[in-house]
Amino acid sequence: MAKKKNALGQGLDSIFGSDVSALIDSIESSNEHSANEIEIASIRPNPYQPRKTFDEKALNELTESIKEHGIFTPILVRKSVGGYEIIAGERRYRAAKKAKLETVPCIIVDFNDDQMMEIAILENVQRENLNPIEEALGYKNLMDKLGYTQEILAKRVGKSREYCANILRLLKLPQEVQEYVAKGKLSLGHVRPLITIDDEDKVCEIADMIIQNKMSVRDVEKYIKELGGKKKVGKEKKVDPNLLAVSKHMEEKLQTRVKVDNKNIIISYHDVKDLNRILELLNCIEE
């Protein structure tokens, strides 16, 4: 018990030098850390949680299990202003809310903001719960907010520097293509060749073609090679900076790809639900 308490009181190097997932498991399952029943209304998700999507089917299955058997493994939390923040166990928390529990068993530990961010990202990476885009954004946060270099990042997450660099390069893809990757419509193998293309419209066009034609990774590599391999695909067109500024402003407002030229405004959308969302933002839907 003393050893674990000392570990929690030390710096990031001491805590996260070993397997974070194993550390969390040891705290959650240890009889030496007593659990407290805490009102679920006073608990908030980890603000640094990198995982944005949760498998609805798996969550529903966990909800039914909690309804029947309760929560076996306590949720790891820290005290915060006006309540508690989750360090590990957000799936259990979400399922408990769906099961309409009023309280949940929790283990309270003391972590600062940097530790919260690092443990949230590393635990998810080690347990392979993140999609590639969430993983890339998590790595970027560690680098931006904690000052990690790629060498330190690679050491922390237990990956090669080359792997980390390749994952981070996914963030260079257009937002639309990133969403395809996040939703599993495109694999890393599909989009890796697209990163070499500078023309965002061309990248989105190829991405749509890959999905529609159910192209294999080898098909994509062959297609990109025929377009010129690693050379820039398509010559960069001269763009009016004012129109470019309008495009960027509209993209930020509508959260989708927008192209504005001298005569046209082209707004991209994924499905009917997304179209209705955009129309609502533009006040084009009558009440």
The catalytic residues are 90
Judged on CB neighbours under 10 Å (0-12, 13-18, 19+), 77 is: buried
Query: Under a CB-based contact definition with an 8 Å cutoff, are residues 206 and 194 in contact?
Result: yes
3-state SS class at 36? strand
3-state SS class at 37? strand
259: which strand partners? Answer: 266
Please tell me the distance from the alpha carbon of residue 207 to that of residue 189, in angstroms, as a whole number. 12
Q: Which long-range contacts (CB under 8 A, 24 or more apart) does 234-242 make?
A: 234/197, 234/198, 234/199, 234/202, 236/198, 236/199
